[in-house]
């Protein structure tokens, strides 16, 4: 990213962010970021949004939990980040609320994640539409907020995709090396979330 990104002091240790809508987990440490695809909860058993911490870890829990398990501090139920015995589920909304990774990914993540690591979960299961000039809604507001936080957008965060939003999107995509146009689809939203996590975690 160029200097338009506001840099903030990072936590002393790693931070995990989970974006339910785009089904990605980002691991941020020492101004670097790693992105993993994940499976998340079904609409009927959603992954709980909020700010949690890793409170327990175990190796080789077996069965649907794969090769690693990290329990979160959610005060209701048993929610965690774990591997899977069903790799075809990654990228889908199929779990009972837990976050699943490929076993090879969760082994690496587990090794870098101490007890007490913050875990931020946001978003809901939804179909991600392509936003363009004329689009309106909470998803437009989300994009405007991300662009604003990153220093690309200075107009009103009103949920209405107008010329100012389009200009900000074009500048962001150019800086990211993405196909330069004024559209926001899943890949652009992912890029915004990743850039935001790196700047703010």
Query: Encoding tokens for residue 136?
Result: 């309106």
50, β-bridge pairs:
121
Query: Encoding tokens for residue 186?
Result: 């899943």
Query: Encoding tokens for residue 134?
Result: 């004329």
Asked about 82 being catalytic, the answer comes back as yes
Helix residue ranges per DSSP H, the chain: 103-112, 138-149, 163-176, 186-200
| Catalytic member of 51, 82, 96, 196 | 82
Query: Encoding tokens for residue 158?
Result: 């009103």
d(CA 106, CA 108): 5
Query: Encoding tokens for residue 80?
Result: 């965690």
For β-strands 40-41 and 50-59, DSSP reports them as: unpaired
Instruction: Please count the residues of the chain.
Output: 201
Asked about 51 being catalytic, the answer comes back as no
d(CA 60, CA 197): 30
Residue 144, number of CB atoms within 10 A of its CB: 24
| Catalytic member of 19, 51, 96, 98 | 98
Active site residues: 82, 98
């Amino acid at each position: 990213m160029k200097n338009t990104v506001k840099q903030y002091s990072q936590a002393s240790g790693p931070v995990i962010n989970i974006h339910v809508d785009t089904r990605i987990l980002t691991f941020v440490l020492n101004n670097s970021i790693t992105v993993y695809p994940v499976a998340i909860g079904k609409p009927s058993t959603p992954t709980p949004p909020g700010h949690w911490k890793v409170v327990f870890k175990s190796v080789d829990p077996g069965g649907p939990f794969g090769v690693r398990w990290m329990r979160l501090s959610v005060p209701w139920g048993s929610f965690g980040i774990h591997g899977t015995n069903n790799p075809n589920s990654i990228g889908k909304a199929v779990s009972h609320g837990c976050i699943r990774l490929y076993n090879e990914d969760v082994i690496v993540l587990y090794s870098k994640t101490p007890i007490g690591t913050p875990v931020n979960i946001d978003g809901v299961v939804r179909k991600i539409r392509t936003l363009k000039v004329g689009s309106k809604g909470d998803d437009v507001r989300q994009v405007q907020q991300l662009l604003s936080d990153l220093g690309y957008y200075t107009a009103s965060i009103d949920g209405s995709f107008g010329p100012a939003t389009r200009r900000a999107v074009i500048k962001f995509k150019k800086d990211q090396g993405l196909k330069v146009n004024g559209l926001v689809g899943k890949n652009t939203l992912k890029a915004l979330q990743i850039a935001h996590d790196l700047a703010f975690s």
